[in-house]
Amino acid sequence: MKVTHLLGIGAIALSALACTTNPITGRSSLQLANNSEILTMSAQEYRTTLSKGKVITGTADAKRVANVGSRIKNAAERYYQSIGRSADLANYSWEFNLLQSNELNAWCMPGGKVAVYTGILPITKDDNGLAVVMGHEVSHALAGHGNERISQAMVAQYGGAILGGTISNAQWASIFQKVYPIGSQVALLKYGRNQESEADEMGLYLMSMAGYDPRAAIPFWNRMEAASTGSRQPEFLSTHPNPETRISDINKDLPKALEYYKAAGGKI
């Protein structure tokens, strides 16, 4: 079997047809890949990752991760429903798990498969800080950043060939695993800086819609930067904008985020 993509219509027309607009940030991106294939592979690899790690269950921290994740999920679903785009999330199968690891990291696979590492919890400090992290990671999935990165890899590897034919399952799997190094390396998911900046913005809005105080974002990111001083930078920060740019962007986005927060019942 082969995975068929948009074919034979020219690069410009293909870009126009495969362009997806984020309903929260307004950013457009090229997404050529088949989302159902991405979600299937993501679910498989998530199960593999959980089986190789130590999943923490039943503790206060595990319950916090599940609760914060659920509130962000619910806020996203309400928002997408309010703009008539519930179909975007129809095939999501959300999971929120806490994994034992000293790494300062968290991630979300396409389809809402979330993992938070115990090592980042001292940096998040409280539910608001945890919501900064989880809102950011969920935003990568909702914005289709996995599809975008896979599409970029497809174009880089196959160029014009993808416009006139099909990509085999083996080629597809190879591309997927280059974008999402799986198993013990799943923590090393790589996004571009534009995508990281978008996840910062979108995550700020999502956490606010969920009733978490977006003003927690700046101290959280400052703590993350401080934690990396004098040591190898955590992968969580490796492709992010520089600290000054991030803080400046968050300050620009805070007024809108606070409107969402107030609408969710938050106190300004």
pTM of the model: 0.85
Helix (H, G, I), strand (E, B) or coil at 178: helix
Report the range out of 4-18, 81-95, 159-173, 174-188 with the highest average pLDDT.
81-95
Closest CA to 170 of 257, 41, 258, 64: 41
d(CA 138, CA 201) in angstroms, rounded, equals 12
Higher pLDDT among residues 45 and 123, named by residue:
123
Higher pLDDT among residues 101 and 233, named by residue:
101
Is the pLDDT assigned to residue 190 strictly greater than 90? Answer: no
Is the pLDDT assigned to residue 225 strictly greater than 80? Answer: yes
Q: Name the β-bridge partners of 96.
A: 114
| Interval 124-150: pLDDT, tens | 999 999 999 999 999 999 999 988 888
Question: Catalytic residue positions?
Answer: 137
User: What does the pLDDT read at residue 232?
Assistant: 47
